[in-house]
Homo-oligomer: A and B are copies of this chain.
Amino acid sequence: MKLHVVPNITELVSSSLLHQNILRFHRQPHRLAKCQYDIIGSDKIPEYQESVIDVDLRKKVRHEVIGKDTQACLTLWEFQTLVEACNKSKGFQDAILEFKLPEGFELVVEPWPYGGLDVGAENQRYFQGLCFAQDMNNKNADSNFYAYPLPIIPVMDAHKKEIVRIDRLATGGKGDSMTGQTHSERVLDHCQSAEYVPEMIAGGTRKDVKPINITQTEGPSFKVTDESLVEWQKWSFRVSFNPREGAVLHDVRYDGRSVLYRMSISEMTVPYGDARAPFHRKQAFDFGDGGAGNCANNLSLGCDCLGVIKYFNGVIVGSDGQPKVHPNVICLHEQDNGIGWKLVVQFIITLANYEYVFAYKLDTAGGITLEVRATGIVSVVNIYPGKTSDHGNVVSSGVLAQNHQHIFAARVDPAIDGHNNTVIYEESHGVPHNKKTNPNGNFYEIRKTTVNESSGLDANPIDHRVFKIVNPSKKNSHSGNPIGYKFSPLPTQKLLAAPGTLQAQRALFANHHVWVTKYQDDELYAAGRFTLQSQLEQGGVHDMAARKDNVEDEDLVLWNVFGLTHNPRVEDWPVMPVEIYQVQFKPSDFFERNPAIDFPSTKNQASVLVQNDCCSEKLYTS
């Protein structure tokens, strides 16, 4: 029996003791590394294990054999294995030949996780390949292959490294059979080129765009010391990076006062709504399945952020088990905010067709905004000419963009002037006209509800429901209210998959907009530690909440779930204009006044009027 070790340098494994004490005593905890590995043999199914090593003591401090009903997250080199298995599979290659690809077109296999595995197949580790053809007649590797979808999906058994099944995809439309309706010849004849590299498109690029530059001649107002300690406009925080979550903020303070212990994007799921098998297997968990940090872009100057930029590197694990520097995965820069300024910690991930830009934005008024921007290319399948579909929108000839959802979960571990916090929600309600409390009809009342046990809660914008994370032991000297931060969850649509079915069971976290749970070590992931091929969310927020822990005046964690039901429009093709989601955490009686009030009222000196030759300066009246 061989030991195949894949050490994974994740963030510090925290313990309750550390969690309580790090901030208080500023004592350096021992450095811990988590090793994730399979124990494999020629004739058995690999056994996935995890060990935690105290690097200072050079000692294993925890060891765990993971149950057989879960799958370790995918490694990116398994994707390469899928491509190789496709190349080796005669059945698959024969199927591709049937399509009679046009001259100069080449096959592209895009590896995907397999989605939720069917009951009874638990020990199998599968991957699926979405297939496209790329027009290589112009020899440009950036030519958009998504414009030529092939109606076939090869499925690989990752243990055998073999293609074990080839699914034929339906290519029909409204009124056509949901099964078996496929085409296997000249399926690309009706497809059209749809380049996304602007310089490759027919007609060329527009010529009248002049540069907008951000210049900071005196340098930035932020400072980075001790490798990860960022200080800016009374804010201070640590930034870290790990292969699963990407950029994480720690120990976020304003003017020395603690606001957050930790803030991260915890999970996202992208379930597809096309009812025709095997499309229900298109459901990625982009953080749990393969690691958002692993997919982080290496940012480069002048592409992603403007102005004076600080990049941070990360570390991931290579296929040889060695740590590998992942350069420029986080970008730090300042932005003018129209009124006030903000500091942006940003990372971008590319997951097959999609791109997500995640940002933590701290502003001069004490607010923290979590922003997700979705762009990239919508996931498409082949549809026959003249057809339309109930499962998506035809965005280009032969190309059906399937309806889907993106549902995100952020994890916020608050520390509002200390770890013992309480979540309350407030609503504003009209009051019936009455002589005693509402003699003139204009009164409305604020109703407050304390969340006393761990639970899932929902947005309610119609009653202006606002959640507040407060420190019940500390009162604002003016208002008498407990000091806190507030946020209004985005009232976005929840998961649409039918309750009890595979897609729904895997993403129980998507059933509420807000979860409040009691802090426990290692509970970082909204959909649980193991999402790859899961059949049920295990150890996710649903389970954490089900403990019905006391969360009043406690070390609690707040989870925020929001998302986008994405029924594609033609304009989403070939590259989707960015969709932006922002969740704003704002001080609410945390400070004794607007903390930005001491911001100098300097006039910007670099702005200029347009030149007369460009624009009339004459008075106009209309």
Contact = CB atoms under 8 A, between A and B. Distances in A.
Contacts of A592: 570
Contacts of A569: 479, 486, 586-589
Contacts of A462: 491, 493-494
A198 B599 contact: yes
A594 to B, nearest CB: 5
A205 B596 CA distance: 10
A224 B614 contact: yes
B593 A570 contact: yes
A620 B227 contact: yes
Nearest to A565: B464
Interface string A480-501: 1100001000011110111011
Chain A contact residues, majority secondary structure: loop
A311 to B, nearest CB: 7
Interface string A413-446: 0000000000000101111110001111111111
A275 B443 contact: yes
Given A240-B622, A442-B503, A598-B203, A606 B214 contact: yes
A613 to B, nearest CB: 9
B211 A220 contact: no
A279 interface: yes
A446 B365 CA distance: 41
B206 A600 contact: yes
A367 interface: yes
Interface in A185-225: 194, 196-199, 201, 203-206, 208-225
Nearest to A273: B444
A201 B310 contact: no
B219 A210 contact: yes
A251 to B, nearest CB: 12
Interface in A215-250: 215-228, 233-234, 238, 240-242
A357 interface: yes
A453 interface: no
A470 to B, nearest CB: 12
B501 A605 contact: no
A318 interface: no
A313 interface: yes
Q: Contact residue range for chain A?
A: 35 or more
A578 B198 contact: no
A9 interface: yes
A440 to B, nearest CB: 4
Contacts of A325: 619
A433 B500 contact: yes
A203 B462 CA distance: 42
A424 to B, nearest CB: 13
Interface stretch (A19-27, A84-92, A155-163, A392-400): A392-400
A178 interface: yes
Contact of A357 (B197, B323, B339, B433): B339
A338 B333 CA distance: 12
B211 A604 contact: yes
A257 interface: no
A597 B198 contact: yes
Interface in A544-602: 565, 567, 569-578, 586-602
A377 to B, nearest CB: 10
A112 to B, nearest CB: 15
A474 interface: no
A503 B444 CA distance: 12
Nearest to A613: B219
A446 B567 contact: yes
Interface stretch (A36-44, A298-306, A514-522, A528-536): A298-306
Contacts of A426: 567
B279 A442 contact: yes
Given A340-B577, A476-B570, A606 B306 contact: yes
Interface in A249-288: 271-275, 277, 279-280, 283
17 contacts: A198-B598, A206-B598, A209-B233, A211-B218, A211-B606, A212-B336, A275-B437, A308-B609, A310-B615, A365-B571, A432-B498, A433-B500, A441-B498, A462-B493, A476-B570, A571-B586, A571-B588
In order of increasing CB-CB distance, the 9 nearest A-B pairs are A441-B501, A213-B606, A365-B577, A280-B440, A275-B443, A227-B620, A240-B622, A224-B615, A302-B603
Given A212-B341, A461-B461, A570-B592, 8 more contacts: A206-B600, A212-B214, A277-B439, A302-B606, A310-B609, A310-B610, A394-B480, A440-B502
